[in-house]
Amino acid sequence: MASTKQKLIIVESPAKAKTIGRYLGKGYKVEASQGHVCDLPKSQLGVDPDKDFEMKYITIRGRGDILSRIRKEARNASQIYFATDPDREGEAISWHLYHVLGVDEDKPCRIEFNEVTKKAVQNAIKHPRKLDMGRIDAQQARRALDRLVGYKISPLLWAKVKKGLSAGRVQSVATRMVVDRENEINAFIPEEYWEIAADCSTGKDKKKQQFRARLSSVDGKKAAVSDKKGADEVCSLIQSDTFTVSEVKSKERRRMPAPPFTTSSMQQEAGRKLSFTTSRTMQIVQQLYEGVEIEGEGIQGLVTYIRTDSVRISDEAMDAVRAYIPERFGLEFLPQEKNEYKGRKNAQDAHEAIRPTRIDRTPDSIKSSLSREQYMLYRLIWNRFVASQMSAAVYQTLTADITGSRVALRFYGEHKSFAGFTTLYEESSDENVDSVEMNLPTLKEGQEVSIDKIDSEQHFTQPPSRYTEASLVRTLEENGIGRPSTYAPTISTIISRGYVAREKKRLFPTELGIMVTDMMNSYFADIVDTEFTASMENRLDAVEEGKEDWKQILREFYPEFEKTLKVAEEEIEKIDIHDEVSDVPCDQCGALMVYKMGKFGKFLACPNFPQCRNTKPLLTYIDAPCPKCGKRLLEKVSRKNRRFYGCEGYPDCDFVSWDKPVTEKCPTCGSYMVEKRTARGETVLLCANENCRFRKTVDREEEDADE
């Protein structure tokens, strides 16, 4: 008796194949393609501009055995379903498999589901569709653009500038953002300002109330105290004045919960709360999506599809969470109407937000079945989703103006009267600036106020913060650069290429990253322009929606790009990049060593490479002596690729400075000074003493004289 033919389902990952196979049982065979099976050849451009951008696809090396196995199963299958991920890349993988297997064009064969659950998979099989050529063409357009940019610019930089350089369409923009931020920081000159506050009180004995008010205005003008002299004068005015409450405003402030996670917001929060990198976040959440062995339940997909920029959730999920909240937290924690959120501009909204597949599968109920990292991320997703449909937190706020004859103070305080969603979850920020809750005083207009104590505190304005992975993802998203599937690989790429380094969560450009960015800014300004890159993303979205022809994008892009390439080929040839010969002989062969540029900056290398592989670190001294011991200072590069200045006497002397010290001493406090260059190109000497911060602008005549 002949065996009954099975239906073949092809997915991307073995983990997902295993999960779906358990759900469907007999009658189905589930195979994994392990990602793309066809792609452009690595050894060739693979995109032919002379033949209207014809794409040359070949079987990826190492995928032959996988394709043979899938072909064998396909020959014996009664029906073939392509169940790759529900996005552009997934659609393209299905399309390549569709052609390789010779599936009937008129037969609906594509199935997709937003979550790897038994119900979702079985429902998808009942509703197959034809392949979505909009998604496929959008993927082809992106692939062609990336290949043209990468394969045309990288060899040019390699041949004309420096061996080992490379460029990419989105990665180059991300690198430029990190470089631009570093330039902003280097150009920043701190400005001194003083904060003045007073401990105030009303009433006496048991009725005495104490609170703290800050300086608001002097002589009717908004207070701006920029030095100690001004601070002392204001403190004297407060000390000699009498104050009354002139105005009191009490309000109720409602704070709404954050929406459920998109890919971007999940990466940001996992970075802030869990200290996960973007790539680690995506690795772990992929496991939660594809399926985890849960004790007593088998393999279960725990979260919905993980590459999304939508904040929408299904009606079924909404009903489930609204039924759960009053049962778990109480009826007062459930808003009368469901909380609805507006997605960002240009959000695709093809998939739901990231949420748990079952609301009753709480993090603690499955903790024993998860790794530590899986549990932490699942709890973050579960808490965020549930909190998104809870009641607002309610705060009572009080603002009071306390006025004297010349000086006005202001008190502001808030008190949380109802926790609402904050009982479960509060969103973080990169700055982590939280309002201080307090018991609010009872104040009335006309009430006399006593000044018990006056404090003045010196501060200096701070430069913009360096990007974290979380804040870079947010900036990329805000500027329309990339899409949910590209944030993590983009950041991983610029770090692995050595263009950007990560130190204590912060991102720094390396010498190599600065050099490549300068070159790209000079010759390929469009490629590293955020608006140009964002507009290209919008056009790719239009292709997916069937509103634009994908090849038309390439037809418009390539001619100008080709002209720019030709100009770059001519101009870059004029740059002298030959290795400069030093006066340092090689210890091993005697040849004079040459200066080389590497990932960590300049170094000395033997010119007889590869016969002689001797290298030496480059010692660059600066004019200023060490402020600690008087020896010479060296310009160095840290293991994280940051330039700094350290004493040649290390480890006996541990002096280091990120800013370049100078010989001139501070005329105010006698401390050493450092050199800074402003955004306008001016050189400024700044006192290194944080309690002084004297600064002096260096005249151009002085600079010229020094040279």
pTM for this entry: 0.80
Active site residues: 305
Cβ(17)–Cβ(31) below 8 Å: yes
Lowest mean pLDDT among 253-262, 329-338, 684-693: 684-693
Rounded to an integer, the average pLDDT of 316-326 is 96
Least confident of 152-166, 217-231, 279-293, 387-401: 152-166
Residue 643 pLDDT > 50: yes
Q: Give the whole-number percent of the chain exceeding pLDDT 90.
A: 67
State pLDDT tens for residues 183-225: 999 888 888 999 999 999 998 888 899 999 999 999 999 999 9
Number of C-beta neighbours around residue 427 at 10 A: 16
pLDDT for residue 703: 43
pLDDT of the residue at 345: 67
Question: pLDDT value at position 510?
Answer: 86
Structure tokens at 139: 């993927």
Set out the domains of the chain in order of their start, with CATH numbers. 6-131 (3.40.50.140), 146-187+465-572 (1.10.460.10), 192-256+395-421+434-460 (2.70.20.10), 263-388 (1.10.290.10), 579-617 (no CATH), 618-706 (no CATH)
Reduced to 3 states (helix: H, G, I; strand: E, B; else coil), residue 403 is strand
When comparing pLDDT for 244 and 426, which is higher? 244
Predicted local confidence at residue 582, as pLDDT? 81
Long-range contacts of residues 98-103, Cβ cutoff 8 Å, at least 24 apart: 98/131, 100/37, 100/38, 100/67, 100/70, 100/71, 101/70, 101/71, 101/74
At 352-373, the pLDDT tens digits run 999 999 999 999 999 999 999 9
502: phi then psi, degrees, rounded to nearest 5? -115, 130
Model confidence over 537-589: pLDDT tens digits?
999 999 999 999 999 999 999 999 999 999 988 887 655 556 678 878 999 99
Q: Quick one: pLDDT at residue 706?
A: 45
Q: In what order do the strands lie in the sheet with 643-647?
A: 620-625, 632-637, 643-647, 656-657
CA–CA dist 439, 420 (Å, integer): 19
Distances (CA, A) of 32 to 6, 67, 119, 125, 308: 16, 10, 21, 17, 23
What pLDDT score does 704 carry? 41
pLDDT of residue 604: 87
Q: How far is CA 17 from the centre of its chain?
A: 31
In this predicted structure, the answer to whether residue 598 has a pLDDT above a threshold of 80 is no
Residue 508 backbone phi and psi in degrees, to 5:
-125, 140
The neighbour count for residue 221, using CB atoms within 10 Å, is: 7
pLDDT of residue 1: 39
